[in-house]
Amino acid sequence: MADKITVTSPLLPNIDDFYALLKQVWDSKWITNNGSFHKQLEQELAAYLKVPYVSLFTNGTLPLITALQALHISGEVITTPYSFVATTHALWWNGIKPVFVDIDPATGNIDPNRIEEAITSKTSAIMPVHVYGKPCNTKRIQEIADKYSLRVIYDAAHAFGVEVNGKSILNAGDLSTLSFHATKVYNTIEGGAMIMHDEQTKKRIDYLKNFGFANETTVVGPGINSKVDEVRAAYGLLNLRQVDAAIEARHQVAITYREALRSVKGITFFDDMPGVKHNYSYFPIFVNAEEYGLTRDELYFKMKEQNVLGRRYFYPLISTFSTYRGLESSRPANLPNAHKMADSVICLPMHHSLLKEDIERVVECIYQ
């Protein structure tokens, strides 16, 4: 295995360190297929995230698709309409019918109190999302799953490093999946991962992400190709050295936004949850048009005109897209909280290189 590496920059991967790793990859002539940096990154991520096993993927969608395959999920899966489309697309690609239930307006996460009424004889699993990295009520969801013998797969795309009372939320459920896309607090440029609880499951997942090959001549199942190359694994190792500093920098941005916006009538946002170690992946605000004086979209386009690029995230709801709007569970009357949040949200610029003057310019756009 390649020598362990260090990074000197507190926030950004040092380019000289990255060049050094690229040279190691070049000299080794091993650029993909479970190389040394790939193995090292899986081990270091498992230690950092406080989880037993990590399997790397080439993006955040493929582990969702593969998790459903690995657990032989079929029929119907209960999920949330308030997420990125990859959550529900993963179900569709597996021939599974998504069943949407409403969200808890206090968190944006799936409302456990709405899950039981959606369970039918065809339900095989629950797929919640830790929205904006805010942890779901994993205890209540697991109680429901145990009562009805259902599997639980968490879409934890936003939840890198998030803990509740010192324990990783990635250990909840049967499997959890992560996204390491460039927009995330931790990234491998493009990438993702799956978290599992035992060695046998990791071995099966590792087979499935490599066409199902168990060895040179044995294929144990209909797998796909979702391996991570050595270049992105090296980049991920460098980013792992600076992720704590990045999260703390984002924390300071969140504090500044809250102090500046708390007195603005008609603008609300989430505060930190007690006992939770957040990663500050996003900073959503919610616009009450009657109190604020502008609609969400009016504010969004006003910001855009001033080159402040917020994002209406998540809007529109997944349940309104053409593929899913015909489902009974997609009826707006079933999802009032989700529609309200989707119609009022703007995620403000949030990254660990934001300067004070950048934040002031964002806030000035919101002030009237």
339-350 pLDDT, tens digit per residue, is: 999 999 999 999
Q: Is 92 helix (H, G, I), strand (E, B) or coil?
A: helix
Q: Report pLDDT digits (tens) over 258-289.
A: 999 999 999 999 999 999 999 999 999 999 99
18: confidence class by pLDDT, cuts 50, 70, 90: confident
pLDDT tens figures, 26-46: 999 999 999 999 999 999 999
Neighbours of 43 (CB within 10 A): 13
To which residue do tokens 């080439």 refer? 58
Using CB atoms within 10 A of its CB, is residue 105 exposed (0-12), middle (13-18) or buried (19+)? middle
Q: What is the pLDDT of residues 135-146, one digit of tens each?
A: 999 999 999 999
How many other C-beta atoms lie within 10 A of the C-beta of residue 346?
Answer: 21
Assess whether pLDDT exceeds 50 at residue 2. Answer: no
Q: What integer pLDDT is reported at residue 12 of this predicted model?
A: 60
Q: Per-residue b/e over 221-245, b at no fewer than 16 CB within 10 Å?
A: eebbebbbbbbbbbbbbbbbbbbee
| Angstrom distance (rounded) from CA 336 to CA 316 | 13
Please compute, for residue 16, the number of CA atoms within 13 A of its CA located in the half-sphere on the CB side.
Answer: 4
Residue-level pLDDT at 274: 96
Least confident of 4-8, 10-14, 107-111, 326-330: 4-8
- pLDDT over threshold 60, residue 299: yes
Give the pLDDT confidence of 45-72 residue by residue, as tens digits: 999 999 999 999 999 999 999 999 999 9
Residue 8, pLDDT score: 36
Q: What are the residue ranges of CATH 3.40.640.10 in the chain?
A: 15-240
What is the average pLDDT score of the chain?
94
Selected from 3.40.350.10, 3.90.1150.10, 2.60.40.10, 3.40.50.300, the CATH number assigned to the domain covering 244-366 reads: 3.90.1150.10
Considering the chain, tell me which residue range(s) the CATH 3.90.1150.10 domain(s) occupy: 244-366
Q: Which CATH architecture has domain 15-240?
A: 3-Layer(aba) Sandwich (3.40)
Give percent above pLDDT 70 in the chain.
96
